[in-house]
Amino acid sequence: MKIAQVCSFTSPAKNSMGAERIVERITKGRVELGHEVVMKINPDSTNTPAPVVSEIPKDCDILHFHGWDARTSKAEYESYGIPYVVTMHGGGTEIDPVWLASMKRNPNMICVSKFISDRVMCSAFVHSCTHPTEVTYKADKDDYFLWMAGTDWGESKGLFSTITMAKRLRFKLILAGTGRNQNVINQIKSLEDENIKYVGALNGKEKATMLSNAKGFILMTKVPDACPATVSEALMSGTPIISSGAGCMPELVKPSIGFVCKNQAEFAQAISKIKKISPSNCRNYAMNNFSHLVASTKYLQYYNNMINYGNVEGDISD
């Protein structure tokens, strides 16, 4: 199958470019599964997992877009005259009625979690994935927890409440990530002490090392997250998750790989019980559910459905 991945970004993805990392990973997955893939992304991209093209080839079997404008995308994507699908990498916070109406039972749409597919009434979803070569598995952990997200999110991702809990419970916490709002970064730095350290943006081997050494990954998000890529990255590193119950988190975090917390009391209990979670369980669960090959295989089925039946669900004639 010849596939075009279409997304407006410069590869390689860095910092908080979670959706763009997913584009790279599923591209690698399809190449590894023997398919021909091209990428229509920014021309200054380097080290791409597939050739970059300036125009979408007319002989593609399927186009895979990453991005959706409720007012313009349908006409644009249909203008190529080639079957297409769209991945909605977000969708948890949008309230625009025009956008919501454009998503409802959209035959081309694939979400990144069941939580989002239920919210926008689209049945198809594929969880955000990780490529095993991007992380390092480690069973023996260092004595710190890790929070990692775009800092502009601030308390929406539980940033400051996590810092408060670290000070109260006296556990070591490393904060990673960056953003455009320097005031937030300055506030983080002002809260550093002997147990709390801010390390800024992490990429590549440095990020892999920090994830694999952490005894737990904390994401007490307060927003309806669609499917953060950091969850699969941490789990594949053998690092258990401590999360809130917001958004897709209960869908991703099972009792064998972490804790979903309803309040600060449960958060404190999770901190004390983190060693009861086996790193190998986390790794195996991630490989079986969130690997780039698992995601790519699911996407390929949706591609075939779109090509053969004109919708990602397949034969719905009954």
Non-local (6+) Cβ contacts of 195 within 8 A are 166, 167, 170, 171, 172, 173
Q: How far is it, in rounded angstroms, from Cα 294 to Cα 235?
A: 15
Q: How far is it, in rounded angstroms, from Cα 146 to Cα 135?
A: 15
**Residue 220, Cα to own-chain centre: how many angstroms?**
16
Q: How far is it, in rounded angstroms, from Cα 269 to Cα 196?
A: 20
Domains, the chain, ordered by start = 2-129+291-309 (3.40.50.2000), 134-289 (3.40.50.2000)
- Supply 17's token pair: 């470019």
pTM of the model: 0.95
From residue 281, alpha-carbon distances to 58, 139, 187, 258 in Å are: 45, 10, 36, 10
- Supply 296's token pair: 């790519």
Q: Which of 250, 258, 224, 237 is nearest to 130 (CA)?
A: 237
Tens-of-pLDDT digits for all 318 residues of the chain?
A: 999 999 999 999 998 888 999 999 999 999 999 999 999 999 999 999 999 999 999 999 999 999 999 999 999 999 999 999 999 999 988 889 999 999 999 999 999 999 999 999 999 999 999 999 999 999 999 999 999 999 999 999 999 999 999 999 999 999 999 999 999 999 999 999 999 999 999 999 999 999 999 999 999 999 999 999 999 999 999 999 999 999 999 999 999 999 999 999 999 999 999 999 999 999 999 999 999 999 999 999 999 999 999 999 987 665
- Supply 165's token pair: 């809990």
Non-local (6+) Cβ contacts of 142 within 8 A are 213, 214, 215
Q: How far is it, in rounded angstroms, from Cα 240 to Cα 273?
A: 11
Q: How far is it, in rounded angstroms, from Cα 123 to Cα 113?
A: 10
